[in-house]
Structure 1
Amino acid sequence: MDFDISNNIRTLSGTSRLAGVMGWPVAHSKSPRLQGYWLAKHGIDGSYMPLPVAPENFASAVKSLRDLGFAGVNVTIPHKQAVFDVCDELSVRAQRIGAVNTVTFAPDGKILGDNTDGFGFIENLRQSTPEIDFTSSPAMILGAGGACRAIIVSLLDENCPEIRLLNRTKSRAQALADDVNDPRIQVIDWNQAHHCLDDAALLVNTTSLGMIGQPPLEIDLAGLAAQAIVTDIVYAPLKTGLLAQAEAQGNRIVDGLGMLLHQARPGFHRWFGVDPAVTSELRDFVLASAQE
């Protein structure tokens, strides 16, 4: 044998901590690579695996994982709403956001649901732009989906004074604003975006526009203040057309990969007992999967 088998085979013990990500499909998920990096870095006896589960099997699968001794799971499309009916308890932020992406199986058997998307969004901005002040000026948000709602709730919790919400279908933005029910949210016509940029400190794209395979996001950023921060939750491509345009005119930009990485931290902490760091090495490792 011309290699040291101890360096090539990783085994699990009878006390290994187990977690994973449930979706349909789930093969595209970067979470196993991300969480696997942390498990290896911290020498943790555990495993995090992709768990493809069809919608009709979701509820029974969650309970089976609990009964098999899993510590918890992440939940992704199309299960983020269905998991509500499976959870015994929901965090306040999961209730406000209306979706669950992180499930923990408590020692007493209870299924606990949380949403960490807003946490990931805020932490990504804080790491990338430490000087950011969420309380100083309005934020402008494009979109009206689940991620948008999580971001709105997180910004409101950070005492953002005003949120300008725009969506191509205005009625969806209005419905979201009505549901969140906070007077700081102002719904604006999509075609009026260029009129409400001048005093915004933060511009956020939560739509799929600009993602690989999707139409570009067409917006004129000429009226955006020089000190404003522009972020896009899309990370394929890492630098979207929106970010390239903002960077070209001197604005600070924050890509969407950090949100993905930071939102994973609370779950990892609960399941494996370590609060992991988001580093440049982690970013490079997760991004490398696209070239493999």
Structure 2
Amino acid sequence: MSETVRKAAITGHPVAHSRSPLVHGYWLKKHNISGSYGRVDVPPEGAEDFYRNFARYGLNGANVTVPHKEVAAAACEWLDEAARAMVAVNTLWLDETGRLCGANTDGLGFLGNLDQLAPGWDVSRESAVVLGAGGAARAVVWALLSRKFTTVHIVNRTFEKAAALVEEFGSGTKAHSWDKLGTVLGEAQLLVNTTALGMTGKAPLEIDLAPLPDTALVTDIVYAPLETDLLKQAANRGHQTVDGLGMLLHQAVPGFERWFGVRPEVDDALRSLVLEDLGVTA
């Protein structure tokens, strides 16, 4: 009998420009796995039905992108800790009983990127500063708290959004308006930008890094451009920096392992492949 071909896909709306098929296709080829990873565009009006009846569509699993992460989470019969905390999923699979299960691997992707490119980055866990209060910020805050950071400062232009995250995560997090950034930078071991500011086509992220301790690590979840103005400024000041591409790649690892039975590696060849597709120079 021929081996069953396992199928997964990126789901959301739109998905035409998703790089997920490129990433998973690379791993399928590298490990010589008889499987496929495609795209399924799910219109918003059909999202609830699609995820609640996921087993009908011939997929063993899927990734979920905007705007369906919350809808997909609501359709799951089991959620991992991160997905429960974020009330959103980016990874789905059917277990042996046919239950739809969901995980949120964005935080793990963030951690995996730093672990690979800045080993030992979390030795000092006193204070981190997170810029932004959206979905990406929620994943990063969850990740930092899972690594036992003492204090995670959430700084946002709309203070109420930062305060809402603090209400969700509780002890260990503090909310600040943007005008307090200079104060909290002075004690930070880590600075993370989770906003779209500095992304190609977006407004620049204009902050003064002068108060930041020389030993602080600076990272940006933006990967187009690969070296944002924030990272350039930090590097010129002598800070260790990590770009955001690895977060995109590492968040894909748990799903691939779940669907295809092999834990893939984020290697230089994959990174170069995605950079070429993005038209980004390293």
TM-score higher than 0.5 here?
yes
Contact 1:268 1:275 in 2 (8 A): yes
| Unmatched runs of 5 consecutive residues or more in structure 1 | 1-12
1:177-216, aligned counterparts within 5 Å? 177-181=166-170, 183-216=171-204
Q: Which residue of 2 aligns with 1:62?
A: 51
Q: Within the alignment, does 1:235 sit opposite 2:197 as a pair?
A: no
Residue matched to 2:210: 222
1:149-199 Cα distance to aligned partner (Å, 9 max, x none): 111011111100111110010011001111222x21111220121122122
Give per-residue Cα distances to partners, 1:206-265, cap 9 Å, x unaligned: 001001111000100011111110000011111111111101111011011000100000
The 2-side partners of 1:16 and 1:95 are apart by 31
1:266 alignment partner AA = P
Kept in 2, the 8 Å contact 1:135–1:161? The answer is no
1:251-266 equivalent positions in 2, closer than 5 A: 251-266=239-254
Judge which range, 138-147 or 54-63, deviates more.
54-63
**1:33-182 to 2 correspondences below 5 Å:** 33-63=22-52, 65-133=54-122, 135-181=124-170
Q: Whole-Å Cα distance in 2 between the matches of residues 107 and 136 of structure 1?
A: 39
Q: Which residue of 2 aligns with 1:282?
A: 270
Cα distance between partner residues in 2 of 1:36 and 1:63? 27
CA distance in 2, matches of 1:135, 1:224: 15
Q: CA deviation at 1:135?
A: 4.6
Distance in 2 (alpha carbons) for counterparts of 1:62 and 1:176: 27
Distance of 1:136 and 1:217 partners within structure 2: 25
**1:155 counterpart letter in structure 2:** L
Deviation at 1:139, TM superposition (A): 0.2
Q: Which residue does the alignment assign to 2:235? A: 247
Give CA-to-partner distance per residue, 1:124-162, whole Å, 9 cap, x none. 111111021255320000000011111101111110011
| Structure 2 Cα separation of the partners of residues 290 and 105 of structure 1 | 32
Q: Distance in 2 between matches of 1:130 and 1:85?
A: 36
The runs of 5 or more residues in structure 2 that have no matched partner are none
User: What is the distance in 2 between the residues matched to 1:88 and 1:131?
Assistant: 37
Give the C-alpha shift of residue 84 in structure 1: 1.9
8 Å contact kept, 2:124–2:189: no
Larger radius of gyration: 1
Determine the C-alpha separation between the residues in 2 that align with 1:244 and 1:102.
33
1:15 aligned to 2:33?
A: no
Alpha-carbon spacing, 1:47–1:185, altered in 2? closer, same or farther (3 Å) = same
Q: Deviations over 1:271-292 (max 9, x none)?
A: 0000000111110011111239
Alpha-carbon distance, 1:65 to partner: 4.5
- 1:268 maps to which of 244, 247, 256: 256
Task: Give aligned pairs, total.
Answer: 279
Tell me how far 1:92 sits from its aligned partner: 1.6
Deviation at 1:50, TM superposition (A): 1.2
CA RMSD of aligned residues (A): 1.5
Structure 1 contact 204–232 (Cα < 8 Å) conserved: yes
In 2 relative to 1, CA 291–189 (structure 1 residues): closer, same or farther, beyond 3 Å?
A: closer
| In 1, Cα distance between equivalents of 2:175 and 2:210 | 21
Specify whether residues 196 and 63 from structure 1 end up closer, same or farther in structure 2 by C-alpha distance, changes over 3 A only: closer
In 2, Cα distance between equivalents of 1:108 and 1:68? 16
1:67-92 Cα deviation digits (max 9, x unpaired): 34421000000001111221111112
Which one-letter code corresponds to 2:85 in the other structure? R
